[in-house]
Each structure stands twice: as C-alpha cells, then as structure tokens.
Structure 1
Amino acid sequence: MGSSPAPFADIGRRARDLLTKDFNYDQKFSISIPSSTGMGLTATGVKKDQIFVGDISTQYKGEKTTVDVRVDTYSNVFTKVTYDVLPGTKAAISFNVPDHKSGKLDVHYLHHHAAINSSIGLNPSPLLEVAAAIGSKDVAIGGEIAFDTASSSFTKCNAGISFNKPDLSAALVLTDKGQTVKASYAHCVNPLKGTEVAAEMTHRLSSYENSFSIGSIHMIDNLTLVKTRFSDNGKVAILSQREWRPKSLVTVSTEYDTKAANVAPKFGLAIALKP
C-alpha cells in the first residue's frame, strides 16, 4: 500500500542506513543463486580475525507462502514460515533448532493509515511485543512496547515520529524507556549526482551525555558510490562500493580512530555475487 506509513522500526531508517549500512571491517563473501521455480540459495562466509563463520540459507516462495531455512557453522537451524492470511495481513512462525524455547509467532498488519507488528514467544513464559505506526507515508507517529511475562515487567517502551519527503527525512525517537532521545535527519542535496547527507544526535536524559554522527553518500557514476561518516568520538569511516556486474557488489570499508593514533585503522572487504 503506497500511502501506508512505514512500520515503527523504519522510523529514522533513511539516516540510519546512510550512516551504518554496508560498513564492514571483516572479510565477507556471499553468493546468491536465484531460481525460476521459487527456490533460492545463499551462502555466506565471514572471517573475523582468525575465526571463520558461515551459513547457508534457502528461500522458497509460493503463491501465499514463503519458507526460509538457514543453517550456520555451529549446526544451528533457523526456520521461518510466512503466510499471507489476508490482503495486508501476514503471519509468520519461526523457531531455532536445537533451542526449543525459540519459537515465535509474528503478525503483521498493513492498512492505508496504520502499520501494526506484533509477536509472542511460543513458550510457557513468552515475551510479548507490539509496535504500531499511524499516519501516512509522509507523516507517521508510533510506538512499541515489550512485556516479559517471566518477570512481569516491561522491557521496552519506545515512541517516535517521522516526516518523509522524496528529498528529505526527519525523525525523533524516544528510547530506553524514556531515557534516551534520538534525532535524525537525511537530505538529498543533489539528486542528479546522488549526493545525500545525514546526521543523527543522541541525548541521554539521565546522564546529560550527547553523541552525534554525520555522514554523506555520493554517486561517482551509475555503478560506484562513496560514503563517509564522522562521529564525535573521533572515528572517521569511509566506504566505497562498486557494482561490477548486475546485482554483484564489491565493498571496501575503513575506519580510523583519530583519538588513538597508535591503533591501526580497521579495514574490511565484502564481496556479494548474484549470477
């Protein structure tokens, strides 16, 4: 539904993605193999220092059903089955093997003026979560809560508001049970060259601490982009991404801590292939 508000989790996502998405300081390789029959296969490997971890995931898409299965290096199996119950309503059941307490039921409802997501753990003492946003694709306000029945306490209580236009996005979110305020802003300053800037500021009400990050993205050409990020803690990050063939990306990231001159910069390489 094109006029529907985004889910609550997407409030502030435009600025957040510009500042954090695709920044990686490990060595990562992934290959995705689609299929015309609805079955897709993805293999991913990540090298962190001297440790190598990986997983293999498959996805089957039917007319109303989507089945995701992922197996990781430690033989854990994650399964998720999503079913389109009604137009605008989806239900999903997920669980991990061998964790018998990991079962969860999610229900997603999308209306012209509302987006509601809820989940409940499938165990004797479940965690209940509800998130809702009302409004439109331009202006939305929402909140989310989580209640732990085992401890009879609220573990999450957040609220936020967002304003979105094709060339800009602004959001204000109250998190940590009202103890932290996050304000973010993203603005496309040059649509022809794909230049966009973003900033996020965090204020902690209990300690009066402030932190912020600013960043930018610029398209060198139709296949190459560069991202930068500067944080108040002295860290500077740069990312370059190249689409060397359709849907296949090579990403190089680096981060330097200006307050720790004796520490070597971090470097990361990510290669994503899609034949």
Structure 2
Amino acid sequence: MNNSPGLYFHIGKKARDLLYKDYGQQPSFHFSYQWIDWNLDLSCQTESVVPGLHTALRFVVPDSGKVELRFLHDYVGITAGSGLKMTSHNHVGLDPAVHFSGVIGTDFVSLGTDIAFDMSTSTFNKFNAGLSFNCPYLVASLTLNDKLDTIKASYYQPLNPLTRSAVAAELKHSFFIDRTTTLTVGGQHALFPSTLIKARMDSNGKVGALVQQGFWQKFFLAISGEFDFKDNDRRRPKIGLSAALAP
C-alpha cells in the first residue's frame, strides 16, 4: 500500500487544475497583443537518483528558472531548491531566495508547510501552510497563504472516471490586505477520450471556458476564453492558447 502524502504542491492540486490549469494564467513575463497573451513555460524531472529522490527543473522563457530537489517516501515529502532570474542587463543570476516545503501524513490525510527565505534581506517572503483530506469520492484541502493572510478552502469531487467528469469549488478570503472573499466553481467533462471541456465562474463576475484536445496521447493543445462582466472598460473576452507535452 502506498502511504506517501505527496509533495506540498499536491495539496489542493486537483481542484486548482480543474479551476485554473490551461486557462492562460501568465507568470511574471508574457507577451500581450490586444486580447492575446502568451508565454513559454518548460519543466522536466529526472528519474530517481536514489530511491525517492528526484531533480526538477523549470524555465519560464526568457524570464526565470528554478532547480529543485524532491524527496518522496512513506509518510513524508520534501522539496528544497533555489531559482535563476534575468537581471536588468539580460544576465542570468542566482535568485537570493531559497525555497523549502515539507509534508507529513499519508495518502489519506496530510499536513505541510511551504516557505521561502530571502537571503539578501534576511526575511521570509513566503510562508504557507496546508491540510489535505483525500478519499476516492472527494478531495478537500485548507491552506493559509500570503504569510497567513489568505485562507483557501477547496473541494474536488469526481463524478464519472470514464468521462473524467468532475466538479470543484474554491473559497478564498483575505483577512488584512484587501479583505475580500471570492467563490469559484467549475466543472469538466470529456466529450471524447481525447477532448476535454472545462468551465468556471466566480463571484467577481468572471466566466471562463476551455477546450483541450489531445494528439498522439502525449501532446495537448487548449484554447480558453474568459469574460469579465464587471469590467466596464474592456467589454471583450480574453483568449488564451496553451500547449503541454506529457512525459
């Protein structure tokens, strides 16, 4: 029996993937022309160097990159690493922040934390904590983010594994910075084995949908759109295009 709790980013991942993945969210660098946004995000992971130990690399071209060590074993999951970033003179330098996350528990329930320490200022620029509950019928999580300013509760429920039908919801509340509460709900369904459709809406008036098409069981292309009913200045949808290559 596998008792591994996974890694910290697995906490709430199924709900996040349904509600946000492939919808065209951009990192700090992206190209924008009118209503089209794009970026290039590459990641890879090596096989186990020793049992349970992996090396992961991620590059957001041409803005930044990150190298990370991941250790996954029974009852514990640990990640540690540092980053690369592009300086103002187009030179790559070491990011002064180091990252660490750890999770303890089982595949049923787990508890973890995620921190980042800025060595140049000797301060913590990230401190998160999370709790996850997993069973075949639902996945629920509770996390504290933004240095414990934001609380998120997420819920994911599979409906039909054959058609990948599922629903998810996320409730987010900020205590101090903007003191807002946002509810996001969404669902997904596979029309065909290689064609997945998703839709979501939130309490701020944003509605989004996407169609993802798989090719050759390895390559996936998704077209997404989002419309903000409360944005009086830009009454037009945002269109996004994303591609992924499965290992």
Q: Give me the TM-score of the superposition, normalised by structure 2.
A: 0.77
What residue is the counterpart of 1:11 in the other structure? 11
The answer to whether the 8 Å contact 2:158/2:164 transfers is: yes
- Whole-angstrom distance in 1 between the partners of 2:42 and 2:83: 23
The answer to whether the 8 Å contact 1:251/1:271 transfers is: yes
Deviation per CA, 1:49-108: give whole Å up to 9, x if none: 17997769798xxxxxx7xxxxxxxxxxxxxxx574421123568999x99xx8976332
Secondary structure of the residue that 2:141 maps to in structure 1? strand
- Whole-angstrom distance in 1 between the partners of 2:195 and 2:48: 37
- Identify the match of residue 182 of structure 2 among 207, 211, 215: 211
What residue is the counterpart of 1:131 in the other structure? 101
What residue is the counterpart of 1:223 in the other structure? 194
Aligned pair 1:268/2:232, yes or no?
A: no
Which runs of 5 or more residues in structure 2 are unaligned? Answer: 85-92
What residue is the counterpart of 1:110 in the other structure? 72
Distance 1:108 1:203, change over 3 A: same
- Whole-angstrom distance in 1 between the partners of 2:43 and 2:150: 38
The answer to whether the 8 Å contact 1:216/1:227 transfers is: yes
Larger Rg: 1
- Identify the match of residue 49 of structure 1 among 18, 33, 40: 33
| Counterparts of residues 71-220 of structure 1 (less than 5 Å) | 84-91=48-55, 106-120=68-82, 126-206=96-176, 207-220=178-191
The answer to whether the 8 Å contact 1:25/1:253 transfers is: no
Aligned pair 1:251/2:222, yes or no?
A: yes
The answer to whether the 8 Å contact 2:67/2:81 transfers is: yes
Q: Which amino acid aligns with 1:86?
A: V
What residue is the counterpart of 2:210 in the other structure? 239
Distance 1:114 1:273, change over 3 A: closer
- Whole-angstrom distance in 2 between the partners of 1:266 and 1:124: 34
How many residue pairs get matched? 232
Q: Which amino acid aligns with 1:17?
A: D
Q: Which amino acid aligns with 1:222?
A: P
Could you tell me the percent identity over the aligned residues? 39
Q: Which moved more, 1:249-258 or 1:120-129?
A: 120-129
- Whole-angstrom distance in 1 between the partners of 2:163 and 2:94: 54
**Aligned alpha-carbon RMSD (Å):** 3.8
Distance 1:52 1:163, change over 3 A: closer
Secondary structure of the residue that 1:15 maps to in structure 2? helix
- Whole-angstrom distance in 2 between the partners of 1:231 and 1:16: 14
The answer to whether the 8 Å contact 1:197/1:215 transfers is: yes
Secondary structure of the residue that 2:147 maps to in structure 1? helix
Deviation per CA, 1:106-150: give whole Å up to 9, x if none: 332212010011125698994232210011112110112222222
Distance 1:55 1:271, change over 3 A: closer
